[in-house]
Amino acid sequence: MSDPSGPPITPMQSTILFEAVFNHSPIGSYLLSPTPEATILAVNEAFLQASGRRRDELVGISLFEAFPGNPDDPADSGESVLRQSLARVAATGKPDTLPAERYPIRVQLPSGEVVFEERFWDAVSTPIFREDGSILCISHATSDVTERVRSAMAIRASEARFRALTHASADVIYRMSPDWTELRQLDGRGFIKDTIDPRAHWLDEYVATEDQPLVHAAIGEAIRNKRFFELEHRVRRVDGSYGWTLSRAVPMFREDGEIEEWIGTASDITERRMAEEKLREQDRRKDEFLAMLAHELRNPLAPIGAAADLLQRAKPDEPMLRTTSQIIGRQVRHMTELIDDLLDVSRVTRGLIELETAPLDIAQAAFDAVEQVMPLIQARRHQLSVHQPPAPALVRGDRKRLVQVLANLLNNAAKYTPEGGALRLGIEVEEDQVCIEVADNGIGMTPELAEHAFELFAQAERSVDRASGGLGLGLPLVRNLVELHGGTVSCASAGLGKGSCFTVCLPRLAQQQTIKSEDDADNKAAAAGQPAALRILVVDDNEDAADTLAMLLELSGHEMLVEHGSRQALARALEARPNVCLLDLGLPDMDGAELARQLRARPETADAMLVAVTGYGQEADRARTREAGFDHHLVKPIDLDRLQAVLGDYAASTATGMRIR
């Protein structure tokens, strides 16, 4: 048998074999002199292709002359690092490795411009020895790893951006296993319990127990369909409480189309859900309020309608007329109070009420409020005790509005306390505030109702039945008026059947403040007495309203003219020259404001007193009537005493020739 190793390779064959391997190697290589200049002795085809150079440009010159560093790039350390590597090989006689070294390559563009193209190289420098052991040359093998390095850099940059995003985001960012059984990472400035450890039982730890079946079902559907996951559910927050989150996750796929993992975010939507729940609750209360409003407005309409039928069908005598008129009057006043409450709340909540403040003793306002509510207190046989300080309890406020506040609280106490109950009104003067307390031993409130007592439409929950009446607007109005005065109001109750206590606190004034006396409108009206006879024109497209008002004023001795249209009224006024015109604003052919302007423009009616009689009572409506030339603005249903006082003042001023418009 022949020797399997074959004949020995001759020196010439060895040289030829080395050259073949060197030249045909897929790895770029060149041979360098073991001197500091590192002269290029040979270069293979792979390196020529990688560097884009020709062999005659490289062989015989220094490596560092062929591939100089970029003098304009302070970060270009490739040349110095390579010099040190070759020096180590020459000094130690051992190979030296440079992994992924940045070494930009000088490139001349077709335009002739010279630039440096950033490149990265894996390099291994290996000494080649002579027979005597000295270094013949250094084999320098390089691989262009620019794309690999750039990919790695892009990944690192992407990871850095992701980390920055997680730290900047208020959301929680998480990674989940393909089947959602393992929470791989939980990151970000999260609002839920934070950890970076994998969790196999994350659902039990983070998701509220009652929502876990819902979350399981949504996850199962997302996995089956390999689709986007999105769900609102409750989660355990960092502080241990439970809030709401909007959780979204997208599947990340492998090349074979299977899910590798899920990337998701969880947003804290607790405040939004609470706001939505509050809106739903307010909407529910609004619906209840509208139903109650309809009920309350129908109640007085029933006796009014019955009284009207009685007057039409029977032959009324004086007692019957008196009784039916009293019924109608009471029910109209009740409806007026309901409407006034609605308008008051609307004006206050929209900031349309202007307070006329002055120093006053709150005890005086309390006395007026007690006087207003006393008929109800006496009718229900309550015992009212009043406790006030020996010295004046001075505040700065609008007396009329503060009387309204205290009357509302006393009225509530009287309505919601069974007959024969006990009410208490107390005034306490503290260092910087005056507090008024209204307490009762009535039906009381649940803690939930006490919390919402001053909110609109909350009254329906408090009332056991509708016997007490009202729209539940008194307490919201109380709160708004007190806050307009810079004060606070609170309520407390020990529970159902244990009474309630309301406390109003207002900023206290120093004792040296003086209290201005107020003109009493009622006294002025009384002093005016029965007005002198006037010629009065009533203009209203509601024939019943116009005719009944004319009949009432005719009983006072006035000469009455009635028209139901603006143009007929203008012609009638120019002919009859009335002293007073009572004009509805909502007239069909020409509104009352324009009619007033035309009356003011005509010499026959320029001096007549114009009174707006309308259902519109907002401040904007009053400004509109003033601008149109009206002297007074009265809101329907008209307070007859107020109208008589206005007519009396006018008659007196014309009699003395001192009428002031």
Q: What is the pLDDT of residues 31-42, one digit of tens each?
A: 999 999 999 999
397 with 368, same domain: the answer is yes
- Both tokens of 608, joined, read 């007549």
Q: What is the CATH number of the domain that holds 298?
A: 1.10.287
Q: Looking at the domain assignment, is residue 135 inside a domain?
A: yes
250 shares its domain with 300: no
Query: Amino acid identity of 516?
Result: K
Expressed as residue numbers, the domain containing 255 is 169-268
Same domain? For 379 and 293 the reply is: no
CA angle 16, 20, 22 (to 5 degrees): 115
262: which strand partners?
Answer: 176, 251
Residue 5's pLDDT is 54
- Asked which of 238, 268, 298 is the last residue of a domain, the reply is 268
Most confident option among 357-371, 568-582, 646-660: 568-582
The answer to whether position 491 is within a domain reads yes
Write the CATH number for 105.
Answer: 3.30.450.20
H helical segments located in 38-77: 45-51, 63-66
Q: Residues 516-543: pLDDT tens digits? A: 544 444 444 444 445 578 999 999 988 8
Question: Are the beta carbons of 583 and 559 closer than 8 angstroms?
Answer: no
Crossing angle of helices 640-656 and 521-528, in 10° steps, is: 60
Residues 480 and 438 occupy one common structural domain = yes
Q: Give mean pLDDT, residues 506-511.
A: 84
**CA–CA separation, 125 and 140 (whole Å):** 4
pLDDT number for residue 568 = 93
Count up the domains in the chain and report the number: 5
Backbone angles phi, psi at 436, to 5 degrees: -115, 125
Percent of the chain with pLDDT over 70: 82
pLDDT of residue 508: 92
d(CA 78, CA 68): 9
Q: Give yes or no: residues 29 and 136 share one domain.
A: yes
Q: What is the mean pLDDT of the chain?
A: 82
Residue 1 in domain: no
Does 519 map to a domain? no
Give 102's pLDDT tier (boundaries 50, 70, 90): confident
Question: Which two structure tokens, joined as six digits, stand for 410?
Answer: 């006393």
What confidence score (pLDDT) does residue 288 get? Answer: 61
Name 415's Cβ contacts closer than 8 Å, sequence gap at least 6: 376, 468, 469, 470
Where a domain ends, among 290, 313, 347? 347
| Domain boundary, last residue among 476, 507, 538 | 507
- Choose the weakest-confidence range: 276-280, 301-305, 320-324, 438-442: 301-305
Nearest to 37 by CA among 57, 60, 53: 60
Q: How confident is the model at residue 292 (pLDDT cuts 50, 70, 90)?
A: low
In angstroms, rounded to a whole number, what is the distance separating the alpha carbons of residues 250 and 175? 10
> Tell me, what's the pLDDT at 518?
45
Over its C-alpha atoms, the chain yields an Rg (Å, rounded) of: 48
Q: Is the pLDDT of residue 197 over 80?
A: no
Residue 362 and residue 342 in one domain: no
Query: How far apart, in whole angstroms, are the C-alpha atoms of residue 334 and residue 299?
Result: 10
User: Any idea what the Cα angle at residue 461 is, between residues 456 and 464, rounded to 5°?
Assistant: 135
Per-residue model confidence (pLDDT) at position 9:
58
Q: Does residue 99 sit within a domain?
A: yes
| 8 A C-beta contact, residue 429 and residue 391 | yes
Helix, strand, or coil (residue 431): coil
Is 282 in contact with 274 (CB distance < 8 Å)? no
2 is a domain residue: no
Residue 631 within a domain? yes
pLDDT at 327: 77
170-187, pLDDT tens digit by residue? 678 888 999 998 887 776
174 and 254 housed in the same domain: yes
Q: Please tell me whether residues 551 and 589 are part of one structural domain.
A: yes
Cα–Cα distance measured from residue 661 to residue 412, given in angstroms and rounded to the nearest whole number: 42
458 is written with which tokens?
Answer: 């909350």
Asked if residue 408 and residue 368 are part of one domain, the reply reads yes
Mind listing the pLDDT tens digit for each residue in 599-617? 999 999 999 999 999 877 7
Confidence of residue 660 (pLDDT cuts 50, 70, 90): very low
For CA atoms 267, 268, 272, 276, the dihedral sign is positive
Question: Tell me, what amino acid is at 126?
Answer: T
- Same domain for 495 and 389: yes
Q: Which residue has the tokens 């979204």?
A: 248
Residues in the chain: 661
pLDDT in tens, 405-439: 998 899 889 989 999 999 999 999 998 999 999 99
CATH number of the structural domain spanning residue 474: 3.30.565.10
Residue 404 lies in a domain: yes
Residue 27 binned pLDDT confidence (cut-offs 50, 70, 90): confident
- Is the same domain home to 436 and 576? no
391 has pLDDT over 70: yes
Tens digits of residue pLDDT in 303-360: 777 777 777 777 777 777 787 777 777 777 767 766 776 666 666 666 666 788 899 9
Q: Is the pLDDT of residue 659 over 50?
A: no
Confidence (pLDDT) at 638: 79
Residues 386 and 495 in one domain: yes
